[in-house]
Amino acid sequence: MTKYLFKRLLQLIPLLIGISLISFFVIHLAPGDPTNLFTTPNVKPEELARIRANFGLDKPVIIQYFYWLVNILKGNFGTDLLTGRPVVIEILERLPATLLLTGSAYILTFLLAIPLGVLSAVKKNSWFDKSVTLFSFAGMATPSFWLALILMLVFAVKLDWLPAVGMYTFTLKDSPWFIRAWDVCLHLILPVTTMTLVSLAGLTRYQRAAMLEILNKDYIRTARAKGLPERVVIFKHALRNALIPIVTIFGLSLPDIFGGAFIIETVFGWPGMGRLGVQAVFQRNYPLIMGIVMFSAFLIIIGNLLADLLYAWVDPRIRLGEKKQ
């Protein structure tokens, strides 16, 4: 297991270099250069040259990449062009809100997708299975931001049951902590519901397919043939094996959930990293954009790594296979 972990960690290095290269060249796609952002056209040429030298923009691109990389390794992602604060601080401040939102949606999705998928595989072609399948297709075809608008329209605007936007109610800021915590929960309901409904669809289908595949295996037929009760066959023999492929999906669905946060946070005015990113895009705030691209890519890679390790841990074939070598 240690050897496996070490191998996986080594594989991260080229991946991170590739990500940083793509990120860096995306920023260099920009026509003109960043000095356009804070200089006026009538700035003196020698003044402009000085500013460009200050930013290292007079050097060749590959040298600039190298400087940038060294800075990133030191944890220096540059400063926000508008507020002048370090990008790392800005991102870390917003990260808890994003993790709360995506984390809740993530957990809820898996808690619902696994039983729905398993049950519809066990009751294949029943009305339950058919409605789950139809619901899955509907979920995959629904634009998340539109579902957000509709939920907002029904539950916040028409019925007025839940707050539409934000994370806190401003007037409650001096209340005791449990009232404020409850307030955050109320604000969480609509965005979490949106994210869960959208990501639930694909996962349910995946879990259904995984379970169906296992149910067709010879050892399930053997288990049935030797007269085991159906309950034991499903829960002890089939379910445990059908859960293994889902672990990979833990990792693979991370980019989707994170990507969803950019849109959902913007629609619901949720003060997280996603909304910060969309704002940065509109401000053409390059250091902040690059910081968020690198940061979310990094989180996704770590998530994938954890999922792979979990996979190796739950699947004895991988764990023991490593030992044999």
Partner 1 sequence: MIFKNGTFTFGIIILFIMALAAIFAPLIAPFDPAGIIEKDTLAPSLMHFFGTDDLGRDIFSRAIFGARISLTVGLVAVTLALLIGTLMGALAGYYGGWLDNVVMRLVDIMLAFPSIFLLLAIQAMLTPNIYNVMVVIGLTSWMGVARLVRAEFLSLKERQFVEAARAIGCSDSRIIFKHILPNAIVPIVVAGALGMGGAILTESALSFLGMGVQPPMPSWGNMLMDAQAYLWDAPWMAVIPGILIFLAVLSLYFVGEGLREYLNPRKV
Residue with tokens 């190298």: 66
If binding is defined by CB under 8 A, does position 195 make contact with partner 1? Answer: no
Q: By rule CB under 8 A, what string of x and - marks binding of each residue 94-113 to partner 1?
A: --------------------
Least Å distance between CB 82 and partner 1? 15
Which window, 58-66, 67-75, 178-186, 274-282, contacts partner 1 (CB under 8 A)?
274-282
| 250 near partner 1, judged by CB under 8 A | no
Structural contact between residues 258 and 299, judged by C-beta atoms closer than 8 angstroms: yes
Among residue numbers 127 through 156, which ones bind partner 1 (CB under 8 A)? 137-138, 140-146, 149-150, 152-153
CB of 19 to partner 1, least distance (A): 6
Q: Which residues make Cβ contacts (< 8 Å) with residue 170, sequence separation at least 6?
A: none
Q: DSSP letters along 27-79, please?
A: HTTSSS-GGGGT--TTS-HHHHHHHHHHTTTTS-HHHHHHHHHHHHHTT---B
Assess 262 for contact with partner 1 (CB under 8 A). Answer: yes
Residue 220's CB is within 10 A of a number of other CB atoms, namely 17
- 3-class SS letters over 188-216: HHHHHHHHHHHHHHHHHHHHHHHHHHHHC
How many residues contact partner 1, by CB under 8 A? 47
* Among candidate residues 189, 167, 155, the one with its CA nearest the CA of residue 275: 167
Instruction: Name residues contacting partner 1, limited to 72-91 (CB under 8 A).
Output: none
Tokens standing for 285? 């705030």
Asked if 293 and 29 count as a contact pair (C-beta separation under 8 A), the reply is no
User: Computed over its alpha carbons, how large is the radius of gyration of the chain?
Assistant: 25
Contact between 248 and 257 (Cβ < 8 Å) = no
Minimum CB separation of residue 30 from partner 1 in Å reads 4
Residues of span 12-41 touching partner 1 by CB under 8 A: 14-15, 18-19, 22, 26-27, 29-31
Q: For partner 1, which residue of 105, 292, 307, 312 counts as binding (CB under 8 A)?
A: 292
Q: And the tokens for 138? A: 């509907």
Q: DSSP label at 159?
A: S
Nearer to partner 1, 203 or 301 (CB): 301
Q: Which of 214, 234, 267, 312 binds partner 1 (CB under 8 A)?
A: 267
* 196 binding partner 1? (CB under 8 A): no
Q: Which is nearer to partner 1, 223 or 276 (CB)?
A: 276
Q: How far is the CB of 262 from partner 1 (least distance, A)?
A: 5
**Sign of the CA dihedral 106, 112, 115, 116?**
negative
**Nearest distance from residue 296's CB to partner 1, in Å?**
5
Beta bridge partners of 86: 79
**Contact flag: residue 162 with partner 1 (CB under 8 A):** no
Who contacts 76 (Cβ-Cβ below 8 Å, separation ≥6)?
Answer: 86, 88
Among 281, 306, 310, 318, binds partner 1 (CB under 8 A): 281
For partner 1, which is the closer residue by CB, 196 or 296? 296
Which positions lie near partner 1, rule CB under 8 A?
14-15, 18-19, 22, 26-27, 29-31, 137-138, 140-146, 149-150, 152-153, 157, 255-256, 258-260, 262-263, 266-267, 274, 277-278, 281-282, 284, 289, 292-293, 296-297, 300-301, 304
